[in-house]
Structure 1
Amino acid sequence: MARMTADERRESVIRAAITEFARGGYDGTSTEVIAKRVGVSQPYLFRLFPSKQAIFLAAAWRCLEDTRHVFREAADGLEGEEALHSMAAAYQRLIADDPEKLLMQMQMYVAVAAAEAAGDHEFGELIRAGWLELWDSIHLSLGADVDETTTFLAYGMLINVLVSLGFPPGHRIWSGFYISARRAEE
């Protein structure tokens, strides 16, 4: 069996970190559990990443990057309403197929808010930069329309909250989405 390169190990740490941070949050996840999931020692983990914060930020960046990629692919070659509906459907598939990405997003917001409340304003800089890239990507895909971009992201954040709270697909809380979808089809 071939040994993994450092880059391959870094990648496996990022994937493991997304899983573990999604489940336990920043404060509730130890580097020991991440190292164990990857099958490396903690000292080796810290040769790959200088700190727990660096691991979290790499996982957060990957989560945002993967989401941008999903939206970019969904909107490729489309404009306006077609791009909007394609990106919405792609996001629904993403959170259904990979719920850890959604949970990691929610943990990012909590971690940044906690750091800000504690006076650490640097922690959120990378995450804010990644989120701004996500916003810009969506904005361009929707024809640089601020209202469309804001509405799309507002619906997306509401979906994140409802899914995170565990509302099942047939629950009445989702009825407004179905009405909006029907109106868009008319």
Structure 2
Amino acid sequence: MARMSAEERRESVIRAATIEFASGGYHGTSTEVIARRVGVSQPYLFRLFPGKKAIFLAVAERCLEDTIRTFADASKGLEGEDALHAMADAYTRVITEQPEWLLMQMQLYVAVGAAEQEGDHEFGEAVRAGWMRLWDTVHVPLGAEVGETTTFLAYGMLINCLVAMGFPPEHRVWEGLYPSARLKGRLER
């Protein structure tokens, strides 16, 4: 069996840390748990990343980049309502098929808020920069209309919260979110 390169090992750390941070959050996840999931020692983990914060920021960056890529791929060549529905469908598919992705997003916002209160602005700066790339990615296909972009992202955050809280698709809180049966069908799977 071939040994993994450092880059392959870094990638496995990011995948493992996504799962661990998604369930335990920044403060509730130890580097020991991440190292164990990857199958490496903590000292080796710290050769790949200088510390827990660096691991979390790498996971946050990946989470945001994956979301940006999902929207960009879905809306490629589309505009307006077509782009909106394509992006909404793609995002709904991802969060239902990979629940850790959604939970990691939620943990990332919590970590930024906690860090900002503690006077640590590094989390916030990195996440805000990624979030602005996300904003720009959906803004143009939606016609570069601020109201459309805001509404799309606001609905997305509401969907994140409802899914994270475990509201079943048939619950009445979803009724206003079904512009078509597509969203409901995706959530019911």
Q: Which residue in the other structure is 2:126 paired with?
A: 126
CA distance in 2, matches of 1:131, 1:77: 22
Q: Which residue in the other structure is 1:27 paired with?
A: 27
CA distance in 2, matches of 1:57, 1:129: 12
CA distance in 2, matches of 1:106, 1:90: 18
Q: Which runs of 4+ in 1 moved over 6 A?
A: none
- Under a length normalisation based on structure 1, what TM-score does the superposition of the two structures give? 0.95
Deviation at 1:120, TM superposition (A): 1.2
Deviation at 1:19, TM superposition (A): 0.4
Unmatched segments (≥5 aa) in structure 2: 182-189
Unmatched segments (≥5 aa) in structure 1: none
Q: Does 1:2 align with 2:2?
A: yes
Give the alignment's Cα RMSD to 1 decimal: 0.9
Q: Which residue in the other structure is 2:54 paired with?
A: 54
Deviation at 1:48, TM superposition (A): 0.3
Deviation at 1:123, TM superposition (A): 2.3
CA distance in 2, matches of 1:146, 1:181: 23
Aligned partner letter, 2:42: Q
| Secondary structure of the corresponding residue to residue 140 of structure 2 | helix
Deviation at 1:122, TM superposition (A): 2.2
CA distance in 2, matches of 1:123, 1:163: 25
Q: Does 1:73 align with 2:73?
A: yes
Q: Which residue in the other structure is 1:83 paired with?
A: 83
CA distance in 2, matches of 1:97, 1:181: 20
- Under a length normalisation based on structure 2, what TM-score does the superposition of the two structures give? 0.94
| Secondary structure of the corresponding residue to residue 141 of structure 1 | coil
